[in-house]
Amino acid sequence: MKFKISGPVGTIKPYEAGKPLAELERQYNITNAVKLASNENPLGFSPRVIAAVNETLFCMNRYPEPVAHGLCRLLGHRFQVGPDNIVLGNGSDDIIALLAHGFLNAGDEAVMPLPSFLMYEISVKTAKGVPVMVPLENYAINLDGIAARVGPRTRMVFVTNPFNPTGSAITRDQFISFSAKIPQDVIIVVDEAYIEFVRDKVVYNSLDDPLGDPRVVTLRTFSKAYGLAGFRIGYGIMDGQVAQILNRIRQPFNVNTLAQVAAQAALQDEEFLNKSIQAIHEGIDYIGCALIKMGLAPLPTQSNFLMVDLKTDATKIFNEMLGHGVIVRSMKSYGFDTFLRVNAGTQEENKAFIRALEQVLGKKG
Ligand SMILES: Cc1ncc(COP(=O)(O)O)c(C=O)c1O
Instruction: Flag whether 346 is in a domain.
Output: yes
Mutate to test the pocket of ligand 1, among 87, 117, 331 (most ligand atoms within 8 A of CB): 117
Distance 137 CA to ligand 1 centre (A): 22
Ligand 1 centroid, distance to 93 Cα (angstroms): 6
Q: How far is CA 282 from CA 235, 250, 296, 345, in A?
A: 28, 39, 19, 10
Q: What is the pLDDT of residues 18-36, one digit of tens each?
A: 788 888 888 888 888 999 9
Ligand 1: distance of its center to the CA of 75 in Å?
19
- Model's pTM, two decimal places? 0.96
Question: 254 near 93, Cβ under 8 Å?
Answer: no
Residue 134 belongs to a domain: yes
Residues (pLDDT < 50) of the chain are 365
Q: Counting atoms of ligand 1 from 1, which one is nearest the CA of 221?
A: 10
pLDDT tens track for 104-114: 999 999 999 99
pLDDT in the model for residue 162: 98
Distance of CA 113 to the CA centre of its chain: 14
268, 297, 312 — which closes off a domain?
Answer: 268
What Å distances lie between residue 150 and 57, 123, 134, 154, 173, CA to CA? Answer: 48, 19, 11, 6, 20
Tell me if 217 sits within 8 A of 187, measured CB to CB: yes
Q: What spacing in Å lies between the alpha carbon of 250 and ligand 1's midpoint? A: 18
Cα distances from 138 to residues 29, 135, 171, 172, in angstroms, run 41, 10, 15, 19
Q: Is position 4 within any domain?
A: no
Q: Give me the number of domains the chain comprises.
A: 2
pLDDT at 363 (0 to 100): 59
- Tallying the residues shown for the chain, one arrives at 365
Given the CA of residue 116, which atom of ligand 1 is nearest to it? 1
41-73 pLDDT tens trace: 999 999 999 999 999 999 999 999 999 999 999
Atom of ligand 1 nearest to the CA of 96: 4
For 336: left if phi > 0, alpha if psi spans -120 to 50, otherwise beta; the answer is beta
Residues with CB under 6 A from ligand 1: 39, 91-93, 117, 160, 164, 191, 193, 221, 223, 229, 234
SS3 content of the chain, % helix, strand, coil (to 5): 40, 15, 40
| 90 shares a domain with 64 | yes
Q: Which domain holds residue 105?
A: 47-268
Ligand 1 mean position to 339 CA, how many Å? Answer: 20
Q: What is the pLDDT of residue 29?
A: 84
Q: Which of 268, 298, 329 is the last residue of a domain?
A: 268
Residue at 182 is within a domain: yes
Ligand 1 binding pocket mutation candidate from 16, 35, 119 (most atoms within 8 A of CB) = 119
